[in-house]
A and B are shown apart, each in its own frame.
Chain A
Amino acid sequence: MTTRLFPLLGLAALAKAATVTYDFSIDWVTANPDGMFERPTIGINGKWPLPIMEANVGDQVIVNAFNNLGDQATSLHFHGLYMNGSTHMDGPSQVTQCAIYPGSSFTYNFTVKQPGTYWYHSHTKGQYPDGLRAPFIIHDPNNPFKDMYDEELVLTVSDWYHDQMPGLLNFFISKANPTGAEPVPNSALLNETQNLTIPVEPERTYLFRMINMGAFAGQYVWFEGHNITILEVDGIYTQPAEADMIYLSAAQRCSFLLTTRNSTTENFPIVASMDTTLFDQLPEDLNYNVTGWLVYDSKEPLPEPAILYEDFDPFDDMTLIPWDNEPLLGEPDRIITLDVIMDNLGDGANYAFFNNITYVSPRVPSLYTALNAGELATDPRIYGEYTHPFVFEKDEIIELVINNIDSGRHPFHLHGRSFQAVWRSEEEAGTFEDSNVTSESFTPIPMKRDTIVLFPEGNLVLRFRADNPGVWLFHCHLEWHVQSGLIATFVEAPLELQKELVIPKNHIDACEAAGVPTVGNAAANLDYLDLTGQNMPPPPLPAGFTTKGIVAMVFSCISGILGVAVIAWYGFADVPKEEPSTIVAPGKAAGAEGGVVEGDGNGSGSGDDASSPTAQKETVVGTISNNGDDEITASGGGRDRVP
């Protein structure tokens, strides 16, 4: 049993903006958080779990990241931070930067302007589930709830794989996995471990900052014997809301108050249970729950959690009201409808699509294309069809309609902002268009967050104001679907970006080290409208009969017809009379040619007389040429000839 707590420094006391610097050497360590399997894991400065990043609102944060992995490129995304004015520090590789190659350094330098619970993780090639993920807490000196709690604790839930992502991804996106079944985690973790104990004191109120840092599994979380009061989701303060169970999808966060009981006679389980509806199959040996305990008295036993037999009924985050009471944004200037589709491409593998496009990284990071394209930066074509680009003008109100054609849950995350979640349907409600919902039905004060769950075959409507120039990804935060292409690129006010943004030399150096071009369109062409050579997904599956199919079919038909013709020819052919000389093998039972000839209707008695017209022939009758038949004619067997 491991006790691993993340006590916070309480920087909230500091009022002045400071510079917080982290020197991260990203390298391989071994870890065995579920006690079942030791595996290489991506650590920082030789350690895993990773350090929690902390800062105050207004602080400048500098992360000097050195890639010491040796065999994998990496990058860091600071999940949930708006990165206003610093879109180039957002982290996704080939979007706002080049991946940091082994042996390269990269400096992230940004000012945090928002309070709340965030996290940082790799945003390169589905890498973070291998370990590169940790909380990032931004304290708020003006926290409206600061007097309501005595202590802050960070609690993460996550899923854990024993295999490493590159191998799992090779399987996931392959013809051997045509249904796109996502690998099922081997364990669930609390604070990157199991059997976590959290010592608590009675009658005390704790602020839990909870983060799902998993790759795939959403998690139901509850504290036996305690209710919780939600105060923040994804960095957005909310009106306090009581709950007994919450659901956190991958990448979602939730802060809540938990007030302890007044007696110390009992300890209470904390349970996180992976959402098994996401799993294609449920391995028999999988424990999809992870348990920790609120420990009032370490001498008391740690009870097994009670088994819940009824369906989980987690708190509905759509009912939350933001603390700032921001009303529904006005009628949108632009409506973008994205249908979530899973389908197979010509390599037989399963891919994820927004409408008919599965994301493929451009050759030049999209941000660099935007900065170098001049006036053409507002033309979505230059970002390449397969980055699925949308270009917004400054301060446009955008409405995103997302229809889930797929039967799975998808947590959608928008970089660079929170959005208003103005409508979310139940499961299997069909498309938004078909459900006849109008903006009158939208929540007047919509919940805001940066990652939201879209239900199976349901729909979702989000609104936001394009007031943050930059290049931002909108994607499903199931790491599998990031790799299978469920991503769109929002290019926001690129002309403004060109005026204010300068890419640090350090970033360009990273591109040089990686051999990635930094100018040109998505195809790295300087003629920005010439996309020849852009990265593309595999072609679609061939539909029915292609040329080779037709050729094969024609050949097969010809073969069949020829074969039938030959058989008919053989079948109708008269068996020729053989030359007499060839039929008689003296002393042998030869192939009895012409041995039987009928007369012309007059019964001529038993067959021992020689009255046949063909009597002149030399004929041997007796043993038929078919050797296998001899036993039938047993009475005549073994005879050379009939006299």
Chain B
Amino acid sequence: MAVEVFSVPIFLVVFREALETVIIVSVLLAFLKQTLSGPSHQTVEDLNLHKKLVRQVWFGTALGLIICLVIGGSLIGVFYTVGSNKWDATELDYEGAFCLIASVIITVVGFALLRIGKMQEKWRVKLAAAMESPVRTGRFSFGGTMKRFFEKYAMFMLPFVTVLREGIEAIVFVAGVTFSAPATAVPLPVVVGLAVGGLVGWILYKSGSSTRLQVFLVISTCLLYLIAAGLFSRAVWSFEQQRWSRLLGGDVLETGSGAGSYDIDQSVWHVDCCSPYVNGGNGWGFFNALLGWTNSATYGSVISYNLYWLVVISAFFVLRFKEVKGHWPFMKAKSGGDVGVVSGAPQNSSGSVATGKGTTTTNVVAEK
């Protein structure tokens, strides 16, 4: 791996956002299909309307996607052409900061990714609610025109806004993650992430099976957290290395990966080989990106790595506790009003996935 061309974190972030988008679109399509082209809706009117609305969905999706790509591309382009040269002197500080940002982003995204399987149901609920709303009057806070517009083009607006939102989220995430990776490592994982996300979403839509998806999601989430742990550790390492570099007055480059390239008093282990940074990493860069490998570990990098896992493990236990018991540990059980504030993870829609086989129907139950 002479030039780093594939940033795994970027791939996973893009994948996650793409998947979410596809799920939404698929839910919309399923909804349309069911409401307008089901056995009980065979009129020409219905079919035409269905066609029209399906077109709206795709148009909204495409437009949102294009806008996102333009925004994202120019943002990252500007960043790399304008910004990066100015950082040489404190490069490691920046790298550390970006690793830290990327690590935090991935950590937060990761929680959501694990529950993405529930996304489908969540969106069905949302959509149903959206479709329901025109019936109601008087409580709608938007202006009347806006409301009517939205009603008319709901099938456009929903995917458009969704794609835009997911896309911008992805851009922010990707931007955060990219700063810890060279520019060359950005395009490929973005494309692959979009493709795989789309594919998985499509499979999900077609098969309706969420079990396999769950396996896939768990594996990719595990990878993501391994990466995040490595990034967190590397952030600390970078800050330390910047300090060391400053102490040496730039000579640290002259030392390659040998004696003097690291602070012996901070060193936990150091092997002269296998540096992920020297000569493009020679494959060790891959281990560095994936597992946080370093040929020169410091107390800071080792402790931060382990601490990261400690926090993540604890957080998952806490979340699980919350899921099972309905309230946070060490807090009294409350009524469920505040469910779902944690990290945007969908907390709703329990119990419906397991039976979701080949379904097209969306029933909204709204009884009291």
Interface, chain A (partner B; CB < 8 A): 175-179, 181, 343-344, 346-348, 350, 541-542, 544-546, 548-550, 552-553, 555-556, 559-560, 562-564, 566-579, 581-585, 588, 590-612, 614-615, 617-629, 631-639, 641-643
- CB pair B365 A350 closer than 8 Å: no
- Given the known A-B contacts A596-B128, A601-B360, A610-B366, are A348 and B337 also in contact in the complex, defined by CB atoms under 8 Å? no
**Interface pair B337/A585, CB less than 8 Å apart:** yes
18 further contact pairs, Cβ within 8 A, besides A563-B312, A597-B351, A624-B340:
A178-B261, A179-B254, A179-B255, A350-B259, A541-B259, A541-B270, A542-B270, A563-B309, A566-B312, A570-B114, A596-B365, A597-B363, A607-B132, A618-B368, A622-B366, A624-B122, A626-B348, A641-B366
Tell me which residues across on chain B come within 8 A of A622, comparing CB atoms: 129, 132, 366
Contacts A/B (CB < 8 Å), 17 sampled: A177-B251, A179-B254, A343-B259, A348-B263, A350-B260, A564-B225, A567-B218, A584-B335, A591-B348, A600-B359, A607-B131, A608-B132, A617-B365, A625-B348, A629-B126, A631-B161, A636-B126
A545 to B131, CA, bound (A): 63
A564 in contact with B222 (CB, 8 Å): yes
Interface residue? B316 (CB, 8 A): yes
For residue B336, CB closer than 8 A to chain A, the reply is: yes
Report whether over half of chain A's contact residues are helix, strand or loop; otherwise say mixed: loop
Interface residues of B in 354-368 (CB under 8 A from A): 354-356, 358-368
In the bound complex, residues from chain A placing their C-beta under 8 Å from that of B268 are 548-549, 552
Candidates B35, B360, B368; contact of A605 at CB < 8 Å: B35
Contacts of B218 in A (CB 8 A): 567-568, 571-572
Contact of B1 with A by CB under 8 A? no
Contact B114 A571 (CB under 8 A): yes
Residues of A within 8 A of B319 (CB): 570
Total B residues in contact with A, Cβ cutoff 8 Å = 104
CB pair B264 A348 closer than 8 Å: yes
Interface residues in B240-291 by Cβ distance below 8 A to A read 247-248, 251, 254-255, 259-261, 263-265, 267-271, 291
Nearest 6 Cβ contacts at the A-B interface: A178-B260, A549-B269, A625-B340, A591-B339, A603-B38, A607-B364
B40 part of interface (Cβ distance < 8 Å): yes
Closest Cβ of chain B to A4, distance in Å, is 36
A592 close to B226 (CB less than 8 A): no
In angstroms, how far is the closest chain B Cβ from the Cβ of A624? 6
B139 lies within 8 A of chain A by Cβ: yes
A348-B263, A593-B348, A603-B38 known; A176 and B248 CB under 8 Å? yes
* CB neighbours of B305 from chain A (8 A): 556, 559-560
Distance, CA A626 to CA B118, complexed state (A): 13
Other-chain residue from A545, A601, A603, A619 in contact with B365 (beta carbon distance below 8 A):
A619
Do B340 and A627 touch (CB < 8 A)? yes
Does A643 lie within 8 Å of B366, measured CB to CB?
yes
Report chain B residues within 8 Å CB of A593: 336, 348-351
Q: Is A578 in contact with B336, judged by CB distance below 8 angstroms?
A: yes
Kindly identify which residue among B115, B130, B225 contacts A635, using a CB–CB cutoff of 8 Å.
Answer: B130
What's the minimum C-beta distance from A554 to chain B, rounded to whole angstroms? 11
Whether B139 pairs with A638 at a CB distance below 8 angstroms is: yes
Contacts of A569 in B (CB 8 A): 316, 320
Give the chain B neighbours of A636 by CB distance below 8 A. 126, 129-130, 132-133, 136
B229 on the interface (CB 8 Å rule)? yes
Q: How far is the CA of A600 from the CA of B333 in the complex (A)?
A: 35
Given A552-B297, A576-B323, A584-B336: A612 touches B368 (CB 8 Å cut-off):
no
Does B35 contact A606, Cβ atoms closer than 8 Å? Answer: yes
